[in-house]
Amino acid sequence: MLETIYADINSKAFKILSSVIGRGPNGYSQDQYKAIIEYLEEIVNFKECWEKIWSDDKLRFGVKPSDLAVNYTLPLLKKIKGRVLWDLGAGTGRDSIFFSKYCDEVTSVELTKTAADDIGEQTLSKNIRNIEVVNEDVWSALKRQNNMMKGFVDVIHAHSFLHYTKPTMTNVIFSEMHQLLRKNGRIVFGVKGKGDHLYGKGEEIAEDVWVFEDGQRRKFYDEKSISKVLNKAGFEVESLKTEREYFDNKISEFVVGVARKS
């Protein structure tokens, strides 16, 4: 039975929704459509949390590329000609800027205006011409692109980002990433692991999903649970590892890996 989905057509979320897919579910199931509306409504508040983090400290993660970028994504890029890469949840662009030397085109998707503008300023001052900054939430950016053209991206890089995906949106977003990639394209990711010091802090709102006191909601993964998500979206896992490091003197655990669009 079809459920009536109520959305405030004057809300910001509804305006974004209709600008991306028009009126109605447009190919999404009713459950997915509902999840997208709730996600867009939530984004408005979630965005403020990251705007504050970046306004307080644009160098929170430094300017050096992440270990994921250097040890996992770069070796892949070196094997490809004419490389097209999307960096999701790009922050202030430390990885995007690093990749610009090795790629024909880099697209940096970043929700906050503060961080997105910072990438734009760096590209201007460094005279980098092959980075396009998309200041939007990741679903809107992926879907908008897939509506126009899909199946052309070689590598999606997502460092410390996909664990922020609203659980009801996980399958929708992984499916959009799958559509964006060309056949044999790779996703390179690092998601928070269950051994991270933040696991178990704050309020648990679903299995392994914790909302910390600053408002950040994270899903904590292990190798089995992230593999399940990837396989469901049509990816074949090529490598997977659980890595630990100290950040702010606390254990930061990431499940890192590479998966191929088969």
Ligand X SMILES: C[S@@+](CC[C@H](N)C(=O)[O-])C[C@H]1O[C@@H](n2cnc3c(N)ncnc32)[C@H](O)[C@@H]1O
Residues of this chain that interact with ligand X (CB under 6 A) are 43, 50, 61, 66, 89-91, 94-95, 109-112, 115, 137-138, 159-161, 164
Between CA 36 and CA 194 the distance in angstroms is 26
Q: How far is CA 152 from the centre of its chain?
A: 18
Of the candidates 68, 155, 230, 25, the residue with the CA atom closest to the CA atom of residue 17: 25
CB-nearer residue toward ligand X: 233 or 236: 233
Q: Which residue has the tokens 């999840």?
A: 35
User: What's the min distance (Å) between Cβ of 262 and ligand X?
Assistant: 26
CB-nearer residue toward ligand X: 236 or 245: 245
Residues in the chain: 262
48 to 52, 53, 67, 113, 230: CA distances (angstroms) = 6, 9, 27, 10, 29
Pairing mode, if any, of strands 131-134 and 235-247? unpaired
Between CA 187 and CA 185 the distance in angstroms is 7
Residues 6+ apart with CB under 8 A from 120: 133
User: What's the min distance (Å) between Cβ of 104 and ligand X?
Assistant: 21
User: What's the min distance (Å) between Cβ of 4 and ligand X?
Assistant: 27
CB-nearer residue toward ligand X: 184 or 241: 241
Reported as type and span, the H/E element at residue 157 is strand 153-159
Reported as type and span, the H/E element at residue 185 is strand 181-192
CB-nearer residue toward ligand X: 137 or 154: 137
User: What's the min distance (Å) between Cβ of 31 and ligand X?
Assistant: 19
CB-nearer residue toward ligand X: 236 or 247: 247
User: What's the min distance (Å) between Cβ of 1 and ligand X?
Assistant: 31
User: What's the min distance (Å) between Cβ of 84 and ligand X?
Assistant: 18
CB-nearer residue toward ligand X: 161 or 221: 161
